[in-house]
Amino acid sequence: MGGELKVSIHSDGWCQHGLTGALRGGVRPTDSHVLDRWQLGEGREGWHLPYQIYFPESQLDLADPVDEEARLIGAAAPGRAIIVNVFVGSTLASEEALTAGMADSLVGRLPRKSGGLVLLLAFEKDFNDQQLSQELNTVRRGSWILPRPLSETTFGWLTISSDGDTRGVIEFSSNRSVLQTGRLSGVTFAGIERPWDDLPDWLRDRTDLCAVLACSLEGQDLLFVDLRSRCLHVHLEESLRLLQANFRASRLDEGWDEVVPGVFLTGIRPQGRGELGAHN
């Protein structure tokens, strides 16, 4: 979608969605570009609904020209959204049974190499923009955001889950939504947050760390967070509190490294502490 988000629905029942294009290139080399992976269940009369895409009218922007293979779908009315349901059917699934009374909703059909069909059915329904804003506030306390400047120049997707096998996204415009770009607004930290790029090369190039804490005997503590990392940043708060308390109590273990007299660094991995090791 938009050349930046790819949805894969495999014949063995496994599905995934994740980043591609320029956005995939903005993720750390060692981190997965996959946002979620799931397996389809039994289905209903040979049909599955593995994916839904919400296009709120309020979030639409003028688009660049699209190629001739693109499927064009009209915009919803103000205060509403177009929902595209991606149905996947086996060789035994009946298209007529699925689309009965909904022929006007069918906007795409794709034969599967393994047999069966993929059908795209689009519906219009009310959409509450305030709900989207609330969900984006929740995302700010989540695990991962796009690195700058990508987060400032593209649209994005709010991932959603439904009961059973269905996953999906709500497309939103970064021109209309306030996105987190420089700090972890959901994390309380007793100190100063600094950009990851302010670290020296020997630390900035580490792809196993999601954060670095610098504690000083005489000054303020500093926190550097790699916003590209797929780590649960919201869980940093408790780790930071404990690390700062240990430092003030002079309980320093091998995970701390004194870089200059009186200033100690420690690394935080997605799954725990990480030693910083030797440096120049």
Segment 205-233, tens digit of pLDDT = 888 888 899 999 888 899 998 877 766 56
Cα atoms in the Cβ-side hemisphere of radius 13 Å centred on 197 = 3
Mean pLDDT over the full length of the chain: 81
Instruction: Retrieve residue 166's tokens.
Output: 């269905």
Q: How many whole angstroms separate alpha carbon 88 and alpha carbon 116? A: 8
Spatial neighbors of 163 by CB under 8 A, at least 6 apart, are none
> What is the three-class DSSP state of 57?
helix
Give the bridge partners for 212, in sequence order.
Answer: 224, 267
Give the pLDDT score at 272: 55
Segment 140-152, tens digit of pLDDT = 444 455 555 555 5
Instruction: Retrieve residue 61's tokens.
Output: 């922007």
What is the maximum alpha-carbon separation in the chain?
75
Segment 172-217, tens digit of pLDDT = 876 666 555 445 555 778 888 888 889 988 888 888 888 899 999 8
Domain ranges of the chain: 5-172, 192-274
Cα atoms in the Cβ-side hemisphere of radius 13 Å centred on 174 = 15
> What is the three-class DSSP state of 275?
coil
Q: What is the mean pLDDT of residues 80-87?
A: 95
Segment 33-65, tens digit of pLDDT = 888 889 988 888 999 999 999 999 988 876 677
Which CA distances in Å does 166 have to 2, 9, 15, 52, 101? 21, 12, 10, 7, 23
Task: Report phi then psi at 217, rounded to 5.
Answer: -70, -25
